[in-house]
Amino acid sequence: MLAVYFDQPGGPENLYVKEVPKPHPGRGEVLIKVSTSALNRIDLFQRSGKYPFPKGANDILGLEAAGLVAGFGSGCKEYVTVPEGHLMPIPNGMTFVQAVAIPEVWLTAFQLLHFVGKVQSGQTVLIHAGASGVGTATIQLTRLAKAISIVTAGTQEKLQLAAKLGAAAGFNYKEEDFRERVLEFTNGSGVDVILDCIGGSYWEKNLNCLSTDGQWIVYGLLGGGEVHGDLLARLRSKTGSLLTSLLRSREKEAKKLVKAFTEKVLPYFSQDRSPHVQPIIDSVYPLHRIVEAHRTMEENKNLGKIIIEMPPSS
């Protein structure tokens, strides 16, 4: 089969496609003939050597895939083995390109909102990187939960997308102080939940935005992991909670997470459901243009998911 590899950590130019042996499913695993995959920020970190592959995982880049259960046929270009409990059925009428935009970002968003944050109807949620894959999913899940979402993003186009998906307010962090605007929007009370993929560089502004008894959930460190200042005393003064989450470190809960998402959210992807939710796709690249796809994400040009399409079977 074909797979994306790199021999030395570095830039996108180090990526290449090569043939490797097709995997064989072990006990409790299913072999999937892959039609589409998708990029995630962690792929960039692993390629650059900033995030090691988890123990027991293979060294093929990629976290998610859509395709057919492969107990038959030949000439397939790429395969992946998956624990049975990690699989979700593709909603009726949805293509592989659309379906592969769901697993990583929607499961992450669902986990953050409901397993970690336990968001309630009427609460206010601040979502950083509102036009990212996780951001666009979280906006829609917040709407399903009858909560209120506020987002930050770096362009007007991204803020417009967030508003179209249901964000009640959005602020351009490059042009305005989102801390002041969030407090203005909430009449000085702050937000109940912050979903933060930035980390260290936002710590002070996040604390200012947090309400009394609020929850600040850190699931990414794009702005670094170091904090210089009196974080704990200020967090304690608000009786706030600082929580962290990492989807890959919760493998034991993965089956429970997938089951809950499949039952509670997946039906809303059907066109005839109201309210309706949808994966947001920025672009589709064939496998041989994987370098270009990585560059697009690295330069933060994408609105939603970047999809990788496998070559047709011979």
293, 219: one domain = no
121 in the same domain as 61: no
Residue 298 included in any domain: yes
Average pLDDT score over residue span 123-149: 96
251: DSSP letter:
H
How does the average pLDDT of the chain come out, rounded? Answer: 90
239, 287: one domain = no
- The structure tokens listed for 75 are 């000439």
Question: 277 falls in which pLDDT band (50, 70, 90)?
Answer: very high
Tens of pLDDT, residue by residue over 87-110, are 999 998 899 999 999 999 999 999
Per the structure, the count of domains in the chain is 2
Give domain status of residue 265, yes or no.
Answer: no
Is residue 169 in some structural domain? yes
Task: Report the relative pairing of strands 65-69 and 148-153 from DSSP bridges.
Answer: unpaired
Is 73 a residue whose pLDDT tops 50? no
The answer to whether residues 182 and 290 belong to one domain is no
283 with 222, same domain: the answer is: no
Q: What angle do CA 33, 37, 39 make, to 5 degrees?
A: 160
Q: Say yes or no: 50 and 84 in one domain.
A: yes
CA–CA gap between residue 286 and residue 293 (Å, rounded)? 9
* Confidence at 30, pLDDT banded by 50, 70, 90: confident
Looking at residue 153, which CATH number applies to its domain? 3.40.50.720
Domain membership flag for residue 271: no
Q: What confidence tier does 146 reach under pLDDT thresholds 50, 70, 90?
A: very high
| pLDDT for res 72 | 43
Contacts for 62 with CB less than 8 Å, ≥ 6 apart: 4, 37, 43, 80, 308
Q: Is the pLDDT of residue 112 over 60?
A: yes
| Gap between the Cα atoms of 62 and 275, Å rounded | 31
- Closest residue by Cα to residue 152 from 166, 137, 167: 167
As a whole-number percent, the residues of the chain with pLDDT over 90 amount to 67
Residue-level pLDDT at 252: 66
Using alpha carbons, select from 215, 204, 206 the residue that is nearest to residue 239.
215
Residues 97 and 146 in one domain: no
Is residue 307 classed as helix, strand or coil in its secondary structure?
strand
Region 238-254 average pLDDT = 78
Residues 97, 123 within the same domain? no
121 and 96 in one domain? no
Using CA atoms, how far apart are residues 115 and 93, in angstroms rounded to an integer? 29
- Comparing 6 with 54, the larger pLDDT belongs to 6
Whether residue 287 contacts residue 14, with contact meaning beta carbons closer than 8 Å, is answered with no
Pairing of strands 29-38, 65-69: antiparallel
Task: Confirm if 64 and 100 have CB atoms less than 8 A apart.
Answer: yes
For residue range 134-143, list pLDDT tens digits in order.
Answer: 999 999 999 9
Tell me the CATH number at 86.
3.90.180.10
Domain match, 70 and 139 both: no
Q: Is residue 71 part of a domain?
A: yes
Predicted model pTM: 0.87
Q: Is residue 293 assigned to a domain?
A: yes
- Whether the CB-CB separation of 287 and 17 falls below 8 Å is answered with yes
Alpha helices, DSSP H only, in 101-242? 103-110, 133-144, 156-165, 178-185, 203-209, 231-237
Q: In the block, which residue shows the tokens 């109807």?
A: 121
Of 222, 244, 266, the last residue of a domain is 244
Per-residue model confidence (pLDDT) at position 37:
95
Domain with 90, as residue range(s), is 2-101+279-309
pLDDT of residue 90: 93
Say which residues have a Cβ less than 8 Å from residue 191's Cβ, sequence separation at least 6.
Answer: 124, 125, 126, 150, 182, 209, 210, 211, 214
197 in Cβ contact with 132 (< 8 Å): yes
Domain assignment present for 209: yes
Same domain, 129 and 239: yes
Residue in the block written with tokens 């967090």: 235
Strands (E), the chain: 2-5, 16-19, 29-38, 65-69, 79-83, 124-127, 148-153, 169-172, 191-196, 210-218, 241-244, 281-286, 305-309
**314 has a pLDDT exceeding 80:** no
The answer to whether residue 225 sits within a structural domain is yes
What number of other Cβ atoms are within 10 A of residue 242's Cβ? 17
Which contiguous run of DSSP H or E holds residue 293? helix 290-298
